[in-house]
Structure 1
Amino acid sequence: MEFQDYYKILGVKKDASQEEIQRAYRKLARKFHPDVNKDKDAEEKFKMINEANEVLKDPEKRKLYDAYGKNWQQGAQQPHWQQREYSRRPGEESSSRTFRFGSGGSFEETSGFSEFFNSLFGESASRQQRQYEYDMPGEAELTVSLADAFHGATKAISLQTYEADGKGQVRPVIRTLQVRIPIGVTDGAVIRLSGQGPAGDVLLRIHIAPDPRFRVEGHDLYTSVAVSPWEAALGAKIPVQMIDGTATLSIPKGSQNGKKLRLRGKGLPKRGGSAGDIIVELEVRMPDHLTQEEERLLTEISRISSFNPRAKHSQRAGRHGKA
């Protein structure tokens, strides 16, 4: 039977305040919660984290623990602690072991403390301190399409919880829930599912699946559109695809490749009726092949134009000379 260093388990100093202890406990409990951490050692670490918190959060237990420390065998021999009265539930046997998960935010266990704990504080203390309070919710993730984020949707998700069978053994159970995805939900948003986890609430983090048309940043959508050289030079009105249809984009005269134009209020909806924007980047593309007439016209433009794209300070060679 080994001495358990509860301060080391929680990663706090021996003179840590209750606030520091609880902050460390919440962080570690969230990290090693069986619903979050699937490592084979996580459950055992989770139990020891709860046990350490059970002792250090109680001033009387902590005082006894600090008094004996590694000389815990002496503390285990002291009758004044083990002779304290702790009530047992009606009909409860000392060897019973039951679990309950519900919406109350707690996990109940009639036994489960380490042998070290029981030796120092007594079996009765273990039975009395059977409720582990969690103030951290479980976590889950759901990926939705951009169209679902834009319009809102109802999605089915499966959550794993735990139930005790007739023999008192805990087994995993999969439950299916219908979750309403709000209109305009953004990537990384969190939906709280009240009372749906074994330790209380479940935080459902939403991810938006990659879309071939748009890149999503908050409520704004980024896309690109190909334009011809003459559309960029002369200006044009072209259709741009949106999530729920098309919009008309006005291209100013003399637009450069890579220029970004904004369609206001065409992005993901926001609360209050407004919406993000669609930001369109222009991609000026040249034709792969030219007809004889196109070549003739371009040759004529080249002859009469003073435009010099390599001029450093001006687009017109007339100011600096033609290269």
Structure 2
Amino acid sequence: MDFKDYYQALGVERTASEEDIRKAYRKLARKYHPDVSKEPDADQRMREINEANDVLRDKEKRAAYDALAAQVAQGRHAGGRPGEGFHPPPGWDEGFEFHRGPGQGPADHADFSEFFSSLFGAAERRGAQRRQYRARGEDHHAAIEIALEDAIRGGEREITLRSQVLDDAGPPRWETRTLSVKIPPGVHPGQYIRLAGQGMPGHGGEPAGDLYLEVRIAPHRLYRIENRDLYMTLPVTPSEAALGAQVQVPTPGGGVVEVKVPPNARNGLKLRLKERGLAGHPPGDLYLLLEIALPPADTAAARKAYEQLAQAAPFDPRRHLGV
């Protein structure tokens, strides 16, 4: 039984990243897959590629294999020379917990070589006995963009998700699914909505993983979000800013409130409406940023009004410039 160089089988360096290994496997799988390949040794090459990929894509198996390869390179295996009469040294795999590959039973290595089985068969059997062939499915993550009104009042949305499925038998493929999502009232950006059991399926009767949706709130025509606080630009006329006024303001949750603009209000003045932002502990506030809007001087009456204002209230906004 010869020592197998899995890096050579995939045509990658020993320092190859996970992405390098993934790309090399996909490229070779497309070339040697028995369904499409015309190479005379396609079946054998595909088995070798699958075996190498099964080891190098799994962090624990790769670490164990690299440790053993280092021993082989130093002539510390039983045969004395790399690749000749190879037998893994006793206890070589201590400290490694191996995980089952897709579609592969814990002790089912029929499609792999004797070398693979001698290395990983006993280790996987010991690990499987400890786990009793049971494993919860992995959690998945995605993002969901919702309207501000849905974040405040709650609602229901349908989302379509695409995920890439990679198995040992061929090139990767895309799977699409549509889910109905209930949005609880008061969610805020960065919060997660958990969909129980919508992650990867479990093994050995264990439950599936969960799907976590990161909440993102779509831009709104009126309000800007900062954490749980909301900001809105509130236009006021020069007379409202100078004399003070009561103005009506729409609120994010629906409805209208009356807000007092103080006399001599300046442009950019911030007014706070307590707890009118997003829900939370504590809830956010709604801030109104005053913006003085000038009436256009597009009629004779408007121009005359501006002339009278200039005469009645002389004002130099550039006096601080010293010119």
Q: TM-score range by the shorter chain?
A: 0.5 to 0.7
- Per-residue deviation, 1:234: 0.8
* TM-score, normalised via structure 2 length: 0.61
**Unaligned stretches of 5+ in structure 2?**
30-49, 93-100, 202-208
Q: Letter of the 1:252 partner, please give it.
A: P
Alignment partner for residue 53 of structure 1, among 47, 60, 69? 60
Judging changes above 3 Å, is the alpha-carbon distance between structure 1 residues 137 and 7 closer, same or farther for their aligned structure 2 residues? Answer: farther
1:253 equivalent in structure 2: 263
Count of residues in correspondence between the two structures: 265
Alignment partner for residue 186 of structure 1, among 181, 188, 196? 188
CA distance in structure 2 between the aligned counterparts of 1:119 and 1:46, rounded to whole angstroms: 12
CA distance in structure 2 between the aligned counterparts of 1:303 and 1:53, rounded to whole angstroms: 84
SS in 1 for 2:60: helix
- Per-residue deviation, 1:231: 0.8
User: 1:270, 1:276 within 8 Å by CA — same for their partners in 2?
Assistant: yes
Residues 171-201 of structure 1 show CA distances to partners (whole Å, capped at 9, x for unaligned) of: 8654443332222212222233333211623
CA distance in structure 1 between the aligned counterparts of 2:223 and 2:217, rounded to whole angstroms: 11
User: 2:238, 2:292 within 8 Å by CA — same for their partners in 1?
Assistant: yes
Judging changes above 3 Å, is the alpha-carbon distance between structure 1 residues 281 and 292 closer, same or farther for their aligned structure 2 residues? Answer: same
User: 2:109, 2:121 within 8 Å by CA — same for their partners in 1?
Assistant: no
Judging changes above 3 Å, is the alpha-carbon distance between structure 1 residues 187 and 110 closer, same or farther for their aligned structure 2 residues? Answer: farther
**Unaligned stretches of 5+ in structure 1?**
11-27, 85-96, 101-106, 314-319
User: 1:9, 1:49 within 8 Å by CA — same for their partners in 2?
Assistant: no
2:32 equivalent in structure 1: none
User: 1:138, 1:203 within 8 Å by CA — same for their partners in 2?
Assistant: yes
Q: Letter of the 2:275 partner, please give it.
A: G
Mapping of 1:169-248 within 5 angstroms? Answer: 174-198=176-200, 200-243=209-252, 244-248=254-258
The answer to whether the aligner puts 1:139 opposite 2:141 as a matched pair is: yes
SS in 1 for 2:320: coil
User: 1:155, 1:180 within 8 Å by CA — same for their partners in 2?
Assistant: yes
SS in 1 for 2:197: strand
2:152 equivalent in structure 1: 150
- Per-residue deviation, 1:146: 0.8
* Range that drifts further, 126-135 or 174-183: 126-135
Q: Letter of the 1:285 partner, please give it.
A: A
Name the Cα RMSD after superposition: 4.9
Alignment partner for residue 124 of structure 1, among 115, 121, 124? 121
Mapping of 1:1-323 within 5 angstroms? Answer: 2-4=5-7, 8-9=15-16, 50-56=57-63, 64-69=68-73, 74=82, 77-79=85-87, 99=103, 110=108, 118-119=115-116, 121-122=118-119, 124-125=121-122, 128=125, 137-159=139-161, 174-198=176-200, 200-243=209-252, 244-271=254-281, 274-289=282-297, 292=300, 294-312=302-320
